[in-house]
């Protein structure tokens, strides 16, 4: 009988992360049993070439009592909601029937928002780049970014991913490792589900989905460039990417005590012709037991994002120690500096088996001007 592969060490999140609204999953692990409150809670599969094996039974989808965390209670009339068009088949918006005919346009959910965005992208090709860009800027939801108007992507070689503009980016050596979504995903797999609401399709994720004040922290812009390994590493255009991370104090919106009704630092975008999404955020804090990171999930299309089980990739971006150390010397990051001092990429429960070789972001910038991070994400839909 083959030996059981070693499991990664388990960290217990701080007490500030607990919430009475959370629904715990049942976790069966090859090796020592993991606490349901440990970071590895979520969907995970073995990495190519080794790593621990996790078998997970998730509960039925359970949702937060607030449909839109940080916006309003269900039933409150939204402000500035577009009026649907009345048709014989039911209410419609921009020519499409509402998924939820009894709800407002702004309550149709992330999948409806994504289809609206893709429809508007099609308008770019119909009316021309200049006119279409102006139209999209005028009608885009607040906080969303205008997508790239580049032409169809050229083929990529195995050694470099070509963008629609012709530039090539060196590819990492393998597929992005599949990682846990953790206990605070906000995708419906463990309680709250921000993806069921509208407004989460946006580029600036610093405020709640409904707007308001941005969270404090060192500015960060991060870009994920996705390639499709099953199609010659062409830019993976048209897939939905959901990202989330903690704030400067290590708190997760929708879960941590005191911020359960907030929705900051969560957002969705659809990759452009270059397979790229860029988010405006802050540098996340470092809580006990985990290296600073950003979670992300990749979904194949707009319709699939309403069910977390449809994700074709779930992984995490890691930050270089030099940038993290500089950021955590600033006020507002609580115990992040001391927490980081007790960690290393090699000892982290997620990045430890390979030191984050395929997940470590490339960084530029400084604490005064802010940082820019980027990561190439190779996704293999054939596995």
pLDDT in tens, the chain (383 residues): 545 444 444 444 444 444 333 333 323 223 322 333 345 554 444 444 333 333 333 333 343 434 444 444 444 545 556 787 777 667 777 666 766 677 776 665 656 667 565 554 454 444 443 444 443 344 344 444 433 333 333 333 445 555 555 555 678 989 999 999 999 999 999 999 999 888 999 999 999 998 999 999 999 999 999 999 999 999 999 999 999 999 999 999 999 999 999 999 999 999 999 999 999 999 999 999 999 999 999 999 888 998 999 999 999 999 999 999 999 999 999 999 999 999 999 999 999 999 999 999 999 999 999 999 999 999 999 98
**DSSP-assigned states of every residue in 152-190:** PPPP-BTTEEEPTTS-EEEPPSSPPPP----S---BSTT
Which class is domain 12-383? mainly beta
Please say whether the dihedral angle defined by the alpha carbons of residues 212, 214, 215 and 220, taken in this order, is positive or negative: positive
Please give the pLDDT value at position 13: 45
Q: 24-71, pLDDT tens digit by residue?
A: 332 322 332 233 334 555 444 444 433 333 333 333 334 343 444 444
In the chain, which ranges are continuous DSSP H helix? 110-127, 129-139, 321-328, 336-341
Tell me the whole-structure pTM to 2 decimals.
0.68
What does the mean pLDDT of the chain come to?
A: 75
Residue extents of the structural domains in the chain: 12-383
Please say whether the dihedral angle defined by the alpha carbons of residues 208, 120, 108 and 75, taken in this order, is positive or negative: positive
Please give the pLDDT value at position 174: 95
């Amino acid at each position: 009988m083959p030996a059981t592969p070693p499991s990664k060490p388990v960290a217990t999140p701080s007490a500030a992360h607990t919430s009475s609204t959370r629904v715990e999953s049942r976790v069966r692990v090859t090796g020592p049993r993991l606490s349901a409150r440990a970071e590895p809670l979520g969907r995970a599969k073995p990495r190519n070439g080794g790593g621990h094996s996790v078998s997970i039974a998730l509960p039925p989808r359970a949702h937060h009592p607030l449909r839109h965390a940080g916006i309003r209670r269900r039933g409150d009339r939204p402000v500035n909601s577009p009026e649907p068009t009345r048709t014989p088949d039911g209410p419609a918006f921009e020519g499409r029937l509402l998924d939820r005919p009894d709800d407002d346009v702004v309550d149709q959910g992330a999948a409806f928002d994504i289809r609206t965005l893709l429809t508007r992208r099609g308008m770019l090709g119909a009316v021309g780049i200049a006119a279409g860009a102006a139209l999209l800027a005028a009608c885009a939801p607040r906080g969303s970014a205008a997508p790239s108007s580049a032409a169809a992507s050229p083929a990529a070689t195995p050694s470099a991913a070509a963008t629609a503009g012709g530039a090539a980016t060196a590819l990492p050596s393998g597929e992005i490792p599949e990682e846990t979504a953790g206990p605070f995903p906000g995708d419906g797999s463990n309680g709250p589900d921000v993806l069921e609401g509208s407004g989460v399709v946006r580029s600036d994720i610093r405020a709640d989905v409904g707007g308001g004040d941005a969270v404090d922290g060192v500015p960060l812009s991060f870009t994920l460039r996705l390639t499709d390994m099953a199609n010659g590493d062409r830019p993976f255009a048209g897939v939905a990417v959901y990202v989330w991370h903690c704030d400067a104090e290590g708190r997760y919106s929708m879960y941590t005590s005191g911020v359960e009704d907030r929705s900051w630092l969560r957002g969705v975008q659809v990759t452009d012709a270059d397979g790229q999404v860029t988010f405006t955020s802050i540098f996340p804090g470092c809580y006990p037991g985990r290296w600073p990171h950003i979670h992300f999930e990749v979904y194949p299309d707009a319709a699939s994002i309403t069910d977390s089980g449809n994700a074709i990739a779930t992984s995490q971006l890691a930050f270089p120690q030099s940038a993290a150390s500089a950021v955590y010397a600033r006020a507002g990051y609580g115990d992040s500096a001391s927490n980081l001092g007790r960690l290393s990429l090699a000892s982290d429960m997620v990045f430890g088996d390979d030191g984050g070789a395929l997940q470590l972001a490339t960084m530029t910038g400084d604490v005064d001007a802010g940082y820019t991070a980027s990561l190439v994400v190779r996704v293999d839909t054939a596995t």
